[in-house]
A = this chain, B = another copy of it.
Amino acid sequence: MKQGLQGELAHHLAAYRPGWSLPRPFYRDAAIYRADIEQIWRRGWLFAGHSCELRNPGDWLTLQVDTDSIIVIRGEDGAVRALHNVCRHRGSQLVAPGRGSSKRIVCPYHQWTYDTGGALTFCRGMHEIDKSQFSLKKVHCETVEGLIFISLADPAPPFGPARELMAPFLRPQGFARAKVAKQVDYEIAANWKLVWENNRECFHCNVNHPQYIKANWDHYNADDTSADVKAAISRAVAHSEAKWASAGLAVSHRDTGMTQFPDAERGIWYSANRTALVEGWVSESMDGKQVSTLMGDYRDPDVGTVRARTLPNFWNHSSCDHGVSTLLLPAGPYKTLARVTWLVDEKALEGRDYQLDKLMPFWQLTSEQDWAICERQQRGVESSAYEPGPYSKYKEYNVDAFVRWYVKTLAAGASA
């Protein structure tokens, strides 16, 4: 069957034309969906949540990746780890999907008991077994400045380069000292790649994101940046440089349009940058005004936004006062789950320091606008009349980059 899939994949990959959207089977075939899972989702690093969601020893949350439920848990030693949520006795799921806190993981079926590191500590009635052979299966887990990543791969690819690049941008945001203000789960009726393709361009922003374009410059591209816009950006960059260079908070993305990501040729699946907001805006909120107390190391609201993203399942936009993380999970050729999390400083109090109806709308509206677009595109690419279309060099360079990254990663995994 593997051979069959490889032959089929090779056939479909041969139909792919760089600079154009993917052939139809990539958005709908069950076999290609399985290949995506095996070659990309089970081989890369996946964002799993924020370390502030697991504040105390024993705190855990679960993540469902394909058929596998993963427990992400803070151990009694304070370290965050990831374990398969499967009892080594008869395979029962140990904890119910969601979140909780416990110093021991006890199987509800026959009470096999594991410590927070996954070691089997108790199993009544099983007199002959060597407990050391029945630890919970481990999943690779890394934390960078309050963001938790896991990998189901064995061995996992190196995480160091991602950490080195992202940490300087994430550190001042202080996610490790944040708290979750709100979390909303979505089910998007679209293939996960369409969600990324949508994320990788702001060509669609003018008409679809009336809030977003008030705060940002991304929708201006090399072919339509006016002298006025260019001057405004230059002023913002210079202002930031003057004010923040020494503090390491100066904007790193200095142009209109989106920063280039990913880098298919060099296999770069992570990136982060600091970006200026439109003059007069200090937060990605409906009116650009601050909507909570300052986060992390910030002492001044005028810091633009930090943006980070990792393939295949994470992006974050953070202003001086709040951050918004999006976590994706594939759930079939036509279905993607998205969890959007709003974070504020851990000391901020709802009602006093922030109101959800001020904090949430900017990204709630923008996210939901995007999911609607993706669902509509999914219905179109399912048609026998769909054929790949050309990407705009000026506006869709990152969509093209994503697709090239996808094709390369898939092909490499399949031949590995």
Contacts and interface: CB of A to CB of B under 8 A. Distances in A.
A111 interface: yes
A345 to B, nearest CB: 36
Interface in A363-416: 373, 376-377, 379-390, 392-395
A24 to B, nearest CB: 8
A93 B389 contact: no
A134 B373 CA distance: 21
Interface stretch (A66-74, A267-275, A303-311): A66-74
B392 A109 contact: no
Contact of A380 (B93, B110, B394): B93
Contacts of A395: 125
A207 interface: yes
A115 interface: no
A385 B84 contact: yes
A230 interface: no
Contacts of A298: none
A400 to B, nearest CB: 11
A94 B381 CA distance: 11
A376 B109 contact: yes
Nearest to A378: B93
A108 B373 contact: yes
Given A204-B109, A208-B108, A377-B93, A383 B125 contact: no
A93 B224 contact: no
B221 A377 contact: no
A108 B370 CA distance: 11
Given A69-B383, A125-B395, 15 more contacts: A21-B90, A21-B91, A67-B382, A84-B383, A90-B197, A90-B381, A90-B389, A91-B386, A93-B379, A96-B376, A108-B373, A108-B376, A109-B204, A109-B373, A127-B392
